[in-house]
Amino acid sequence: MKKYLLLFVIAIFVMSCSKKVEVKGKIAGSSPLERIEFVEASGVATLPLANFGIDKDGNFTGTFEAPKNGMYVINYAGKQNLIFLKGGQSLNISGNSATFPNEYVVTGDAKSDNDFFQACQKFLTTYGQTLNIQQLASGDEGAYVKAMQKIEADINKNIEENEKKFNPGKEVVEWKKIDAKTAILNLLVNYEMTKKQMQGNNPSFKLGKAFTDYETKLQENKDNMVKTSPFYRQYLLTKMSADFQTFAQAKAQGKTDITTSELFNQFLKGKKEVSQTEKDYLLAFVMAQSDMHPQTPAASTDKIKKIIEEDIKDATIKADLKKMLFAINGFKIGDDAPEATLVKQDGKAYKLSENKGKPYMLVFYASWNPYIAEGTMPVLKEVVNFYKSKMNFVFVNLDDTKDQFTKTSNALLKGIPGTNVYGDGGLNSDVAKKYGVYGFKLPSFIVVDKDGKVASRSFVNLGDQDLITILDKQTGLSAPKVDPAAQLQIDPSALQQQAAPQVEKVPVEAK
């Protein structure tokens, strides 16, 4: 009996420690081409954790690993919203395509937390319409502080009322309280910046004691706030902006190859009052926004890698930044192109090493990309026809099912020479993970040389002159000029934006 009781306790413990979230949902009126993504909202290198397909009836299902209990971003049809999730939950979510995810209904494990959260957000929207922040800011400092304290008290009263009404977990309540403090802090720092500008950025400008005491009181646990809230990080960066600009102008004078990340890293090293936790989160944010994108020169990327390795101390942040760099830039040129689990239409396994002795280009694609037929295929056909005598082409489909792969490859790639293969599991497949392929990188292209070594970064535009140069070098051919405006799904700069998605917050709005 004791044995079975022990097994039962172990099973309960495993379930309670699970980070997996099971998702089921329905979006009425949705298109099968739409996708739904979940992204960790408090992370520093927020790559999608999940990307689910939606069937013709608007249904979707899947699972993903939630790094921690907290807020997550829902991405759908170019719109975003927040949802509070815990590992081990079963999430049932529904809505209408016209308003989702701005409006959604949750049932199941996540219901009480998100009913509480949505009620708080609705209050903020209505409450914000009763305020005129600009008018308040035009008054004296003491009156502004009292107004902010009144706003904070009103928001916290609503939080308490909703807590009693919906009985949510402690974690979402704590998040909402931090969110309220952060909203006030951003209003305070905007007031400070405005007053400084009105005085011509006079270095002798100082805020009163009541103002600074209140600002300090709102930040009693700074490390927890910086871990939890991207908007608190935004507040801290705004507070530092004037000093950093002065520092950067002095340090960068006469230098043309210094990056923003290097300058900010140096700046933070001189800030003894800033904790290491704050430094890690703020530096990661600045790196992701300023220097981690496909156009970053290789020398600058090497500097970023060094900063991540030497100056980021938090292991999770370090790992996330490395993952983000790989998603954006791909492998180091000269690395071995890894084998991956791939299958042909006839069910036979396929190995990339079968191309050894001849260079090849990997083409990653999926049918739900809305531009693939009209934007990608005409250009791809020209590229393949020009280089096919000197190199191979491997078309890797990342649709959700093998049946969809068969339909897609037959329809889109008919008559285009190359090998059609499928990554079982789509974006969750072995090949997608090994090559750092996400939904925002489809279609994408990687060149491998005749020895099986990676010969290019990951490209999202067949018209990119750097890609044409690499193809010419690998084949010995000289291609005619390709229109560089022949974009596929996205502009490469969108990779940077995707890696650090901005969530539309529902703040206390100004009229």
Matching residue, tokens 């090497």? 302
Model pLDDT, residue 64: 95
* DSSP state letters, 308-360: HHHH---HHHHHHHHHHHHHHH-SPTTSBPPP--EE-TTS-EE-GGGGTTS-E
Q: 406 vs 498, which has greater pLDDT?
A: 406
Q: With a cut of 70, say whether residue 505 has pLDDT above it.
A: no
Q: Does residue 1 have a pLDDT over 60?
A: no
- Please report, for residues 153, 190, 345, 425, the alpha-carbon distance to residue 341 in angstroms, rounded to integers and kept in the order given: 57, 52, 14, 10
Structure confidence by residue, pLDDT tens digits, 133-142: 999 998 899 9
Q: Is the pLDDT of residue 17 over 70?
A: no
Residue 96 in contact with residue 27, Cβ under 8 Å?
yes
Interstrand relation of 70-76 and 79-85 (parallel, antiparallel or unpaired): antiparallel
Global confidence as pTM: 0.87
376-395 core/surface letters (b: 16 or more CB in 10 A; e: else): bbebbeebbebbeeebbbbb
How large is the average pLDDT for residues 298-313? 94
Long-range contacts of 208-214 (CB under 8 A, 24+ apart): 208/141, 208/142, 210/141, 210/142, 210/145, 211/141, 211/144, 211/145, 214/145, 214/148, 214/149, 214/188
Report the chain's mean pLDDT, rounded to a whole number: 89
Residue that wins the pLDDT comparison between 285 and 256: 285
Amino acid at the residue 332: K
| Residues 383-395 pLDDT 10s | 999 999 999 999 9
- Say how many residues make up the chain: 511
Q: Which of 109-113, 132-136, 252-256, 474-478 has the lowest mean pLDDT?
A: 252-256
Indicate the pLDDT class of residue 295, thresholds 50, 70 and 90: confident
**Higher-pLDDT residue of 507, 470:** 470
**Cβ–Cβ under 8 Å, residues 177 and 159:** yes
% of the chain beyond a pLDDT of 90: 80
* Residue 507: per-residue pLDDT: 36
**Residues 38-68: tens digit of each pLDDT:** 999 998 877 999 999 999 999 999 999 999 9
Selected residue with higher pLDDT from 373 and 209 = 209
For residues 495-503, give the mean pLDDT: 39
pLDDT score at 482: 54
Q: Is the pLDDT of residue 378 over 90?
A: yes
User: Is residue 101 predicted with pLDDT exceeding 90?
Assistant: yes
Q: CB pairs under 8 A, 24+ apart, for 58-63?
A: 58/26, 58/27, 58/28, 58/29, 58/30, 58/97, 59/24, 59/25, 59/26, 60/23, 60/24, 60/25, 60/26, 60/27, 60/36, 61/23, 61/24, 61/25, 62/23, 63/20, 63/21, 63/22, 63/23
Sequence-distant (≥ 6) Cβ neighbours of residue 209 within 8 angstroms: none
Average pLDDT over every residue of 95-100 = 97
- Using CA atoms, how far apart are residues 24 and 109, in angstroms rounded to an integer? 12
Copy the structure tokens of residue 71: 């807020």
The structure tokens 């889109």 sit at 412
Report the alpha-carbon angle 27-28-30, nearest 5. 70
Return the biggest CA–CA distance within the chain. 78
Token pair in block for residue 383: 């590229």
pLDDT for 226 beyond 50: yes
Q: Give residue 481's pLDDT.
A: 66
pLDDT of residue 139: 86
In this predicted structure, the answer to whether residue 203 has a pLDDT above a threshold of 90 is no
Higher pLDDT, residue 328 or 472: 472
Please say whether the beta carbons of 319 and 308 come within 8 A.
no
Checking if the pLDDT of 509 tops 90, the result is: no
CA distance 375 to 484: 13
Mean pLDDT within 152-172:
98
Q: Are residues 116 and 162 in contact, defined by beta-carbon separation less than 8 angstroms?
A: yes
